[in-house]
Amino acid sequence: MSKSAPETPQPSSSSGRVAIVASRYNSTYTDALVQSSSETLAKLAPDLEVDVIRVPGAFEIPVIVEAVACSTNAPLAIIALGVIIRGSTAHADLIAESITKTLQSTSVSHLIPVIHEVLLVDTTEQAEVRALGDELNRGREAAEAAVAMISVMEEISD
């Protein structure tokens, strides 16, 4: 596990919309990820409008990400948030692999950054560190990545 994240991007004056698509499942962790992402976006890019869309579980995230990417008011970036905790079967791995492939496909086909923080963890302790902690908070990191990617996309479109 990496304990170092990229540097925090510079504050942005970009205006537009960012969508956060988050699972309701494992709500203790996903609610914290949404809160961290939203707070970080407000600090780094206060002119961005943030829409939060909740879905039942992690498996439902990709279809809504695709729908948001296809909308007439497509966002500058989409953040996908969820927590999958492994059990004793391969189900979690299958779900996580499917989500990863689909999110990447949506991002590339629509040229919209999709920030993938649908976490696959082995234990609730790992989920706590990544969703509730300060050092490795993946919600914060997702928002920072979104702001950085919005800047990159603006640079290459000029």
Using CA atoms in the order 150, 152, 157, 158, what is the torsion angle rounded to 10 degrees?
Answer: 110
> CA 42: distance to chain centroid?
15
- 91 catalytic, yes or no? yes
Strands 114-121, 77-85: pairing kind: parallel
Joined tokens for residue 148 = 């950085």
User: Of 46, 70, 91, 124, which one is the catalytic site residue?
Assistant: 91
Helix H segments across the chain? 27-44, 61-70, 91-110, 124-131, 138-157
Q: Which residues are catalytic?
A: 91
